[in-house]
Amino acid sequence: MAIDLDRPYPLTAQQIADYRRNGFIKLKDVFNADELRHYGEEITRLTIALNTQTAPLEERSTYDRAFLQVMNLWEESATVREFVFGRRLAGLAAALMEVDGVRLYHDQSLYKEPGGGITPAHADQYYWPVTSDRTVTAWVPLQAVPQDMGPLAFFAGSQHEAFGRDLEISDESERAITAKMQACGFDVLDEPFALGEVSFHSGWTFHRAGPNRSATPRSVMTVIYMDRDMRLKAPDNHMQQADWERWCPGAEVGAVIATPKNPLLFESRPSGHAA
């Protein structure tokens, strides 16, 4: 089967402006059914094989009820590496962030089991020891995500809100952030995803997801990108310290994060420095 994950997906100036304003965007038909089936089978196989969560749902914490999570699948499979290194997604990430190139931060599969709980409101960048807001997560459902399966929902424009940036995913983040978003009047977009639809959200955009009330796992692959020239900052919390050690090993505070685990995935213009 001929699959070309490097084929560009054109964006309009309006779509880039919408992302800049809202901190997220949903794009139709980024992948077709054959592409999702081909890569989804391998992503699912690895997620099941590498998952270490075995406790029943009712015995887990709120975080662990939200999804099964397996990271850096690109290091486990040549097939998944093709997907994660594809220039179509990486090019979209660079265009939306309005940067000249992007590196991989890490990938992760997120499988919300039947009966799985909510994903509490949070901002991803709480976890990341990086110096700027030029980060974005591509959220790629491997099937259509109807409302009862728990699609990702976004608080539009919330990437500029400072409240809640110090909260990790928890019952407290769900309560406090949701209340703050409502008080500030941020609109929430909570809608199904069609087959092939992909969302991108900034590292500081607050988002959440409902429970999976269906009988089918909500199977999602994510790829987190950062500006090619992103530098490491001294960690603000223990989670950022752990991320530094796990996803940016060998990177130095103040230097460009250019480790073997953070390859350059897309470049529209050569870098002006050696890194």
Q: How many CB atoms lie within 10 A of CB 143?
A: 18
pLDDT of residue 85: 98
DSSP string, 155-198: ETTGGG--TTTT--SSHHHHHHHHHHHHHHT--EE---B-TT-E
DSSP state of 133: S
Write 8-11 long-range contacts (CB < 8 A, 24+): 8/87, 8/88, 8/91, 9/88, 9/91, 9/92, 11/92, 11/95, 11/96
How far apart (Å, rounded) are the C-alpha atoms in residues 133 and 217? 32
Write down the domain spans for the chain: 13-264
Kindly tell me if the per-residue pLDDT of 56 is higher than 90: no
AA letter at 172? E
Residue 47, Cα to own-chain centre: how many angstroms?
A: 16
Percentage, residues of the chain above pLDDT 70: 98
Q: Is the pLDDT of residue 273 over 60?
A: no
pTM for this prediction: 0.94
Distance CA 189, CA 225 (A): 22
Q: Are 66 and 132 within 8 A, CB to CB?
A: no
CB count within 10 Å of CB 149 equals: 26
The angle subtended at Cα 139 by Cα 243 and Cα 183, nearest 5°, is 85
Superfamily grouping for domain 13-264: q2cbj1_9rhob like domain (2.60.120.620)
Q: What is the pLDDT of residue 271?
A: 73
- Alpha-carbon distance 189 to 103, whole Å? 28
Per-residue pLDDT, averaged over 172-178, amounts to 97
Q: Indicate whether 144 pLDDT > 90.
A: yes
Above 90 in pLDDT, residue 270? no
> According to the model, what pLDDT value does residue 58 have?
82
What pLDDT is attached to residue 266? 98
Please report how many Cα atoms fall inside a 13 Å half-sphere around the Cα of residue 135, on the Cβ side: 25
pLDDT over threshold 70, residue 260: yes
> Which tens digits make up the pLDDT trace of 74-114?
999 999 999 999 999 999 999 999 999 999 999 999 999 99
Q: How crowded is residue 106: how many other Cβ atoms within 10 Å of its Cβ?
A: 22
